[in-house]
Chain A
Amino acid sequence: MITIPYLTALSTYFSYGLLFAFGQFRDFFRKIFDWWQASNLQGYAPICLGLEDFYIRRLYLRIQDCFGRPIASAPDAWFDVVERYSNDNNKTLKRTEKISRCLNLGSYNYLGFAAADEYCTPRVIDSLNRFSASTCSTRVDGGTTTLHKELEECVANFVGKPAAVVFGMGYVTNSAILPVIIGKGGLIISDSLNHNSIVNGARGSGATIRVFQHNTPPHLEKVLREHIAEGQPRTHRPWKKIIVVVEGIYSMEGEICKLPEIVAICKKYKAYVYLDEAHSIGAVGKTGRGVCELLGVDTADVDIMMGTFTKSFGSCGGYIAGSKELIQYLKYTCPAHLYATSISPPAAQQIISSIKVILGEDGSSRGAQKLSKIRENSNFFRSELQKMGFEVLGDNDSPVMPIMLYNPAKIPAFSRECLKQNVAVVTVAFPATPLLLARARICISASHTKEDLLKALEVISQVGDMVGIKYFPAEPMKQLQHQHQQPGKDTIKSE
């Protein structure tokens, strides 16, 4: 759990209060002017209701330039960020031709497959020429090619499940699968910080949804016991089935799921486990097989394994892996399989090739190197950040490390200052995190070199001092060591 310092909480509340007050004040005047100009709605209700986009108009637009920065190259370790300017106080941003080469700490390019790869790219282009960019058809109609078959076998084999089915988009995978496997009379117990796609899928299923405290197995057990004993609300009939939905690595917290405990509890209470490995598949584990491998959980104990190919594999789409029967049933009735265009063949080829690289089937040890590199990089970077006194969330081995910012003003400050020094970081605010817990998120890649990381640390430390986000005291011993490593940088660290 994140414990926000008392004073910081107060100042954060104050900042939002101020922003809100000014927003309301400006809205008031806008209302007057709108009234003056006479509405042009002609009997239609406004398409966005007043408060619905208040947050966007009055808070988000002010710092719009920190989000959605366009890039003009592959999202590799270094990439080209397109510069933008605004003539109307950030209301609209215009693209320029100018680009700046920045260190990429924002993309989910965990294994470095985002850029052209010596093994993958030629094969991808081959399959593009063979199968074209799209099948224009759904999987059940004319959208299944030999490539798709191969991909499903390859994924099932990689994940460690008897069968798998792939879809063209990770988000759809979650939101279209849950309604198929559970419906009214079922219970979904979801981690409180699960991704929006799971939330949407759960909502769309019509099942009852309960939440357990983020990554807290004892609370999960309590919720399970309570609900099994109580049955369905009002009727008290026993639940048809219970599915516990957890993520492998929580993308906004960088925490690794306490899977062994959760699996043990689910086994005890006969609940099904749904594991979303969007961020963990390929990124963690000795051979990149995700949290199950990392934490030593038998994949047979996880009933439904979901994952995406967007992150580690540098492609797009998602998969569901499970028993042969489950996959057969999904292929029979899952709307994403029946109605959506099948995954683009070059993207499928990219996944197959990257899995081959990870498993060393390409005949080199690049995959193993990438895996050890990302673990080294992540652990080094995390420990350095912690030593500097940042409040870093997440567990060791996880390539995602959020740095807490809290105050709304620190969001643009941190982001802009880092960008000035050619380090591109992601700052995350309200729709993706709770209002108070704004943070910067750093995603480490295997393609980062040691020099890249040192530069990033130096910039972040400097900006962190400037913005005031080192909420913990720094560790003096390690700082000395750090200075020893980098003799030229002591001026920055000496404060």
Chain B
Amino acid sequence: MSPTLSPLQSFNPCNYLAEDLKKNKPRIVMSNNRDDDTLTRVDNSFGRLPDHLLIEIFIRVPVLEWAQIACVKKHWASLFLGESLWHAAIMRTFPSASQAKRWPGPIPRGLSKRRFAALYVSKHIVALDDEIDEIVGHTYLFLKEQLELSTLPPPSGILHGTIIDQFISCGKSRDVAHELASQIWLAVLDNLEENWHTFLVLKRLALEEDVFLPFPYSRSIKVQWRVFEKLFIDFRDCFSHADYYDILGIAKNKFQPIPSACQIILLDVTTSLITIDVQEICTFPVSASVALRVAMESAALNFVNATLNWVTLALDAPAARAVVFGVHISGHLFVEVLLLVVILFLLSQKSYKPPKRPLTKKEIDELCDEWVPESLIPPITEEMQSEPPVLESAAGPHAIVNGKEVVNFASANYLGLIGHEKLLDSCTSALEKYGVGSCGPRQFYGTIDVHLDCEARIANFLGTTDSILYSYGLSTMFSAIPCFCKKGDIIVVDEGVHWGIQNGLYLSRSTIVYFKHNDMESLEKTLEKITAKNQRAKKLRRYIVVEAVYQNSGQIAPLDKIIKLKEKYRFRVLLDESNSIGVLGHTGRGLTEYCRVPIEKIDIVTASLGHALATEGGFCTGSARVVDHQRLSSSGYVFSASLPPYLASAAITAIDVLEQNPDLTSKLKENIAILWKGLSDVQGLSVASNPESPIVFLQLKKSTGSTKGDLQLLEDLANRALEEESVFVVVSKRSTLDKCPLPVGIRMFVSAAHSESDLLKACLSLKKVAAVVLKDHIRP
């Protein structure tokens, strides 16, 4: 009973078959004589069957039985020696096997019987994934024959080379060839019979000297290891003492030392293999791969191991052959225990960290004393000291500044509702009923019925389901945006948006991409780039943020084109209608009406009430979901006191007035046209705004080269216009926080309440002043 007989070998019918058929013919004859009786009986039924039928029957019998069948009758045995049976068997068992007659390479293909055996081997012994490779089987047979049959087999290098050549000539890659060859070697080594011949062959293989060969021809370390493994495990008893130490020495040389960790793992192995000296086994690698890795490691480890070996030997001498509880105590065990103790000791230590020396109290005191903060604000320069003109009356179309009546183009009183009687009346009654302030945020008794009425009125006016009131125009955008955009979302935004939007974008922490001011091509390119580049963009919320009428340039956004792009690229639109509500469209419903876009297409609309509607605050409108979400997530809504009720009631009245007087918007449109025409030929200035925008934006034709210089010049112009001509126009000032790249200019807010003479006067005055102020600027 051999402990090494692998299960594969014991159930290997092919071995059995191939050998028996070839060698043990006498057995057939013997059985022939003995079972004469049965034979005649069989003869009765089978005897007269023609050969081809018999073959058909035999090949359907399980392979394991074939040897027995061959023993039944001489004729049947001869059938098994013939070609036709095997051919038929191949056809039946391996229908996919190639029918080609020859192939390249040194290993012959042989007759059908051999082919059958080869196919059988590739299927059952050499484990390949699914496909049956006939060459593998042939190679296996070839190698096995060479090792078993020849008394003096060629050196393993040659055999291995032949196999590799065969594989390569059959079109396998070098890696695959090497891998297959190793597998075949292992399979053959495992399936060698356990006899003296095999021992000699293995010994020869073990004693062979290493010859360096390039990659596919070098024998894998796994195979070499298996040779030694077999020798030391299966053929232990065959060794003479001298042989044993010879082979051991070679093994030690071949398989370079192993790290101590492996030795400890090997402790387990040592106890199970008692008869082999613990010391020797332990120097063997656990596996070939470990050995390979280790072999590649530095020489330092070799040195350590050599020392270890020396120590082992030194310690081995005194305690040689001591046995405690059946375990041989050798020097090696001492070393191992020592190592274990060292490892445990090291593990118990804290990992090394550079000592952290915190600053001492004195050092911190010194640092604090030394630290000099910057002043809270930069030094005040002259430009910072300019004071705006102070109005002594309401900011209507005609206001009083410094005791002088001036034409006011500084207030966005587009519909002329400042001082409107109905508004004043509604404010007065609200003030009397509700007081001035609301004294609380909306959630905490700051909701007054006029707020709800106002929200409903706005929604009703614009045709949305609901709206939400903010207590300040500026806070509307920068509270609403962070509600719907979070980190990771994508916002595509016009570079000319005002600071309220910029701040909202910053607070949202989304990814922000700017496109050129009011340039639809640039917008399309940007959208294309974002959606094409980013597959993940589909799952993110994506927004386009634009202003209806840009406060910074007076341009009007082409909403119809934006909607087309938005639908193409699936973006949502956030639209700030601060300067267009009450202005654009026939009935003043803003940009959506002006561009004939249904308001449902715009997801979020925000606006300030402080322009055309002549009150204060802001609102956001959209679907019910958009509005409801803000009621608890919008910081400017939740954490701020609500809009003073009198301003909400003024907003309601303003919308009523607007609806009752549709001529307000048409009057405004006329006024814009007059002013636009009048200003189109001012020396040194050009009108940069849209002809229908209520903000008429005058820009320097030729910039001085710096924003500061431009501002200075325009400021001078505006001051002179106010002082000498009593026309109140203002320059678009920029905060240092504002990132808007657009040029500065003079901004004139046209009102429906301006009379034609006001407008003509303004045009004339500006021309006059510009000719004086810009004289030096234009000429050189």
CA distance A175 to B478 in the complex (A): 10
- Give B395-428 interface residues, CB cut-off 8 Å to A: 395-396, 399, 408, 410-413, 418-419, 423-424, 427-428
Q: How far is the CA of A175 from the CA of B503 in the complex (A)?
A: 10
**Chain A 107-138, CB within 8 Å of chain B: the 1/0 string?**
11100011111001100110011111111110
Knowing A45-B541, A168-B616 are in contact, say whether A196-B639 is a contact too (CB < 8 A).
Answer: yes
Contacting residues, chain A, for B438 (C-beta < 8 A):
75, 310, 316
Residues of A within 8 A of B241 (CB): none
Contact of A313 with B by CB under 8 A: yes
Total contacting residues, chain B, CB less than 8 A: 116
Minimal Cβ-Cβ distance residue in A for B379: A325
Question: Residues of B contacting A170 with CB < 8 Å?
Answer: 640-641
Q: How far is the CA of A267 from the CA of B643 in the complex (A)?
A: 38
Please name all residues of chain A whose beta carbon is closer than 8 Å to the beta carbon of B374 when the two chains form the complex. Answer: 240-241
Instruction: Say yes or no: A228 contacts B371, CB within 8 Å.
Output: yes
**A431 adjacent to chain B (CB < 8 Å):** yes
The verdict on A315 contacting B644 (CB below 8 Å), with A333-B737, A341-B473 known, is yes
- CB distance B437 to A132 under 8 Å? no
The CA of A134 and the CA of B436, in the complex, are separated in Å by 14
- B359 surroundings in chain A (CB, below 8 A): 229
A328 within 8 Å of B (CB atoms): yes
A268 to chain B, nearest CB (A): 8
**B341, CB-defined interface residue at 8 Å:** no
Q: Looking at the assembled complex, report how far the CB atom of A486 sits from the nearest CB atom of chain B, in whole angstroms.
A: 27
Contact A75 B439 (CB under 8 A): yes
How does the 8 Å CB contact mask read for B365-407 relative to A, with 1 for contact and 0 for none? Answer: 0011001111111101001111011111111100100000000
Closest A residue, CB atoms, query B650: A133
The answer to the question of A139 belonging to the interface, with a C-beta cut-off of 8 Å to chain B, is yes
A145–B376 contact, CB under 8 A?
Answer: no
A144-B389 contact, Cβ under 8 Å, with A168-B616, A170-B640, A316-B471: yes
A352 to B616, CA, bound (A): 19
Is B614 touching A70 in the complex (CB atoms < 8 A)? no
Interface string of B620-648 (1 = CB under 8 A from A): 00000110110111011011110110110
- Is A340 at the interface (CB under 8 A from chain B)? yes
Is B743 positioned at the interface, with any CB of A under 8 Å from its CB? no
Number of A-B contacts (CB under 8 A): 376
Q: When each residue 598-615 of chain B gets 1 if its CB lies under 8 Å from chain A and 0 otherwise, what string results?
A: 000001000010110011
Task: Give the nearest-CB partner of A430 in chain B.
Answer: B632
Q: Tell which of B383, B410, B626 touches A142, judged by Cβ atoms closer than 8 Å.
A: B410
CA distance A74 to B435 in the complex (A): 6
Q: Are B371 and A238 in contact (CB under 8 A)?
A: yes
Contact yes or no, A340 B474, CB < 8 A:
yes
Q: Does B525 contact A (CB under 8 A)?
A: no
Query: In the bound complex, how far is the Cα of B433 from the Cα of A347, in angstroms?
Result: 15
Interface check A390, CB cutoff 8 A: no
Q: Does B452 contact A (CB under 8 A)?
A: yes
A34 proximity list for chain B (CB < 8 A): none
- A128-B424, A196-B635 known; A69-B437 Cβ under 8 A: no
Q: Are B615 and A72 in contact (CB under 8 A)?
A: no
Answer yes or no: B279 CB below 8 A from chain A CBs. Answer: no
Contact A347 B572 (CB under 8 A): no
How far apart sit A148 and B388, CA to CA, in the bound complex (Å)? Answer: 12
Q: Are A140 and B388 in contact (CB under 8 A)?
A: yes
Binds B, one of A269-277, A286-294, A371-379, A450-458: A269-277
Bitwise, A358-371 to B at CB < 8 A (1) or not (0) is 00000000000000
Q: Is B539 an interface residue (CB 8 A)?
A: yes
Residues of A within 8 A of B572 (CB): 44, 47
Q: Is A474 an interface residue (CB 8 A)?
A: no
Inter-chain contact B445/A71, CB cutoff 8 Å: yes
A56 touching B390 in the complex, CB below 8 Å, given contacts A181-B376, A271-B373? no
Chain A binder among B96-104, B221-229, B728-736: B728-736
Q: Is the CB of B373 within 8 A of A242?
A: yes
A466 smallest CB distance to B (angstroms): 23
Say if the beta carbon of A14 comes within 8 Å of chain B.
no
Write out, one digit per residue, whether chain A residues 416-434 have a CB within 8 A of any chain B CB (1) or not (0): 0000000010101001100
Tell me if B444 counts as interface (CB < 8 A to partner A): yes
Bound together, the chains give a CA A172 to CA B424 distance in angstroms of: 27
Residues of chain B lying within 8 A (CB to CB) of residue A439: none
B646 in complex: contacting residue of A113, A133, A338, A339, CB < 8 Å: A133
Docked-complex contact B542 and A47, CB < 8 angstroms: no
The answer to whether A75 touches B384 (Cβ under 8 A) is no
Task: Sample 28 A-B pairs with CB under 8 A, ordered by A number.
Answer: A47-B625, A47-B626, A72-B448, A74-B433, A75-B439, A116-B435, A121-B431, A121-B435, A128-B431, A136-B395, A136-B412, A136-B611, A136-B749, A140-B733, A143-B410, A144-B388, A145-B392, A168-B616, A171-B471, A175-B475, A204-B506, A329-B378, A332-B384, A332-B386, A341-B473, A341-B608, A350-B437, A426-B445
Chain B interface (Cβ < 8 Å from any Cβ of A): 359, 363-364, 367-368, 371-378, 380, 383-386, 388-396, 399, 408, 410-413, 418-419, 423-424, 427-428, 431-440, 442-449, 451-452, 471-475, 478, 484, 486, 498-500, 503, 506-507, 538-542, 551, 570, 572, 603, 608, 610-611, 614-616, 625-626, 628-629, 631-633, 635-636, 638-641, 643-644, 646-647, 650, 728, 730, 733-738, 747, 749
A-B interface, 7 closest residue pairs, ranked by CB to CB distance from nearest: A142-B410, A341-B610, A169-B472, A310-B641, A171-B640, A340-B474, A332-B384
